[in-house]
Amino acid sequence: MKKLWEKLRGRKIGRTGRLVLMILALYALFVLAVTLVVDGRHVRFYMTQPQEITAAYGEEFTDPGCYAVTAGRLFGEGGRRLRLSVRGEVDTSKLGSYEIEYSAHWLFQEYSTRRTVTVVDKTPPEITLEYTEGYAPSWFTGYEEEGFTALDNCDGDLTAKVEKKVLGDRIEYTVTDSSGNTASVERRPNYTVTAPVISLSGGTELQIYAGPSFADPGYSAADSLGNDLTGYVQVSGEVCPYLAGEYELNYCITNKLGETVSAVRKVTVLPAPLPETVEPDEKTIYLTFDDGPGPYTDDLLDLLQAYNVKATFFVTCLNEKYQDMVGRAADEGHSIGVHTASHNYRAIYAGEDAFFQDFNAVEEMIKEQTGAYTSLCRFPGGSSNTVSSFNPGIMTRLAKAVTDMGYQYFDWNVSSGDAGETTDTDQVAANIINGCTGRKASVVLQHDIKDYSVAAVERVINWGLSNGYTFRPLDLTSPGAHHGIAN
């Protein structure tokens, strides 16, 4: 324009020429004014799809694009599409909103418009159920999950977020991803299993004789699919094996669904039959020695052997090194009875279980030494003791228990006084002789762990034999010389 003006200035274009130029310039101004002001011409954009669109997460995005033309009030749209430049990118690997800007240049001006593209996740997660070959549920557990996984295109592993619902005979698995897409699948475990029956070995009614212990004959349980459920059986109830009576044992399985099957066993503990006591016809002395064997038992046995007198030993386990004396005594025709292993009042009278545990230890020792258990016993302190009063009623219960178990328990009706009143052999002998005098059946209490007491025995034997007494060992039919039970 400037060049043209200079060219024109350099020339003599004359008056007409200047007039033409002025007219042309005015016309151009007029056209521009009409175009911009009256026509209002500008750039108009057309979106090929709505201005706000979404794109799928993870998928390729293609911009649907737009085009632009000029447009005005008076002369309408221009037919030619303007060249557009496009700015902005959409990353479909990240959720979010992106903007694309389209712009066009027209008549020294830039026009632009924008499109919003939101990348969204519309794909629900995928739940895969696992199946175990040959799987058979058990009655105890019910259906046990075989496994499942949930994977999402956007969130990855969602297995931990799967919710399981048991709806009758089907299980529904549901999971929702972070964009709110929900997936749901269903499983129908197809099986039939009926409740197990608890089988009781030895029957539902059991009769036993009272004894030191009770061993359950056993039980088993299996469901209809063959699953062994024996290990789940819970046994409640107790049998007191040394007390005659009726007891109930309950066998029960409660499965994980809260269903229960049970069986009951009635155990009748019968008192062991005891023979009737036989009062001896002749004047009889039963020499009994407690708390041994000990260091004087051997000499005592020699003496008894020399006179061919049979006695009774109520033994403990306190002197292990003399235990073979128990075997010797039995071999030589003396009777052996249980006196308890520890002779510890606090321990043995603490309860029936403690008592019989201790009691059985002596029985085992006796069996080891003599080849047989015994049926004779004597309570430490006698059945009338009150040292056990810290456990009220224990002697009453133990006296019944040992009797139920087939033991005859013996007290005494002649005391030698060797347990504390005297340590004098003459006095011991005198006490025994006085006690036996005029008595048909004398059960004499002595202790073979006391040398001064053992030393009195020969005198007692001589006195007895020369006064028409018979010396006998105790047996199940012998008089028990029972004291009145005081506890």
Q: State the residues that interact with Zn ion by CB under 5 A.
A: 290-291, 380
* Shortest distance (Å) from residue 382 CB to Zn ion: 9
What contacts 273, CB < 8 A, 6 or more positions away? 406
In the bound state with Zn ion, the residue whose beta carbon lies nearer, of 291 and 418, is 291
The rounded distance, in Å, linking the Cα atoms of 53 and 64 is 10
In the bound state with Zn ion, the residue whose beta carbon lies nearer, of 196 and 380, is 380
* Shortest distance (Å) from residue 196 CB to Zn ion: 53
* Shortest distance (Å) from residue 385 CB to Zn ion: 10
The rounded distance, in Å, linking the Cα atoms of 350 and 338 is 18
In the bound state with Zn ion, the residue whose beta carbon lies nearer, of 294 and 473, is 294
In the bound state with Zn ion, the residue whose beta carbon lies nearer, of 196 and 293, is 293
Question: Residue with the closest Cβ to Zn ion?
Answer: 290
- Which residue type, as a one-letter code, is found at position 49? Q
In the bound state with Zn ion, the residue whose beta carbon lies nearer, of 173 and 349, is 349
The rounded distance, in Å, linking the Cα atoms of 304 and 337 is 18
What contacts 92, CB < 8 A, 6 or more positions away? 55, 56, 57, 58, 59, 60, 61, 119
Pairing of strands 260-270, 335-338: unpaired
* Shortest distance (Å) from residue 243 CB to Zn ion: 24
In the bound state with Zn ion, the residue whose beta carbon lies nearer, of 152 and 290, is 290
The rounded distance, in Å, linking the Cα atoms of 323 and 364 is 12
* Shortest distance (Å) from residue 467 CB to Zn ion: 28
In the bound state with Zn ion, the residue whose beta carbon lies nearer, of 90 and 449, is 449
* Shortest distance (Å) from residue 466 CB to Zn ion: 30
* Shortest distance (Å) from residue 448 CB to Zn ion: 11
Residue 136 buriedness (CB in 10 A; 0-12 / 13-18 / 19+): exposed
In the bound state with Zn ion, the residue whose beta carbon lies nearer, of 232 and 313, is 313
* Shortest distance (Å) from residue 381 CB to Zn ion: 7
In the bound state with Zn ion, the residue whose beta carbon lies nearer, of 161 and 343, is 343
* Shortest distance (Å) from residue 314 CB to Zn ion: 7
In the bound state with Zn ion, the residue whose beta carbon lies nearer, of 176 and 487, is 487
In the bound state with Zn ion, the residue whose beta carbon lies nearer, of 261 and 348, is 348
Of 4, 97, 109, 20, nearest to 55 by C-alpha is 97
In the bound state with Zn ion, the residue whose beta carbon lies nearer, of 181 and 374, is 374
* Shortest distance (Å) from residue 486 CB to Zn ion: 17
HEC letters along the chain: CHHHHHHHHHCCCHHHHHHHHHHHHHHHHHHHHHHHHHCCCEEEEEECCCCEEEEECCCCCCCCCEEEEEEECCCEECCCCCCCEEECCCCCCCCEEEEEEEEEEECCEEEEEEEEEEEECCCCCEEEECCCCCCCCECCCECCCCCEEEEECCCEECHHHCEEEEECCEEEEEEECCCCCEEEEEECCCCCCCCCEEEECCCCEEEEECCCCCCCCCEEEECCCCCECHHHCEEECCCCCCCCEEEEEEEEEECCCCCEEEEEEEEEEECCCCCCCCCCCCCEEEEEEECCCCCCHHHHHHHHHHHCCCCEEEECCCCHHHCHHHHHHHHCCCEEEECCCCCCHHHHCCCHHHHHHHHHHHHHHHHHHHCCCCCEECCCCCCCCCCCCCCCCHHHHHHHHHHHCCCEECCCCEECCCCCCCCCHHHHHHHHHHHHCCCCEEEEEEECCCHHHHCCHHHHHHHHHHCCCEECCCCCCCCCCCCCCCC
* Shortest distance (Å) from residue 291 CB to Zn ion: 4
* Shortest distance (Å) from residue 329 CB to Zn ion: 16
In the bound state with Zn ion, the residue whose beta carbon lies nearer, of 124 and 294, is 294
* Shortest distance (Å) from residue 358 CB to Zn ion: 13
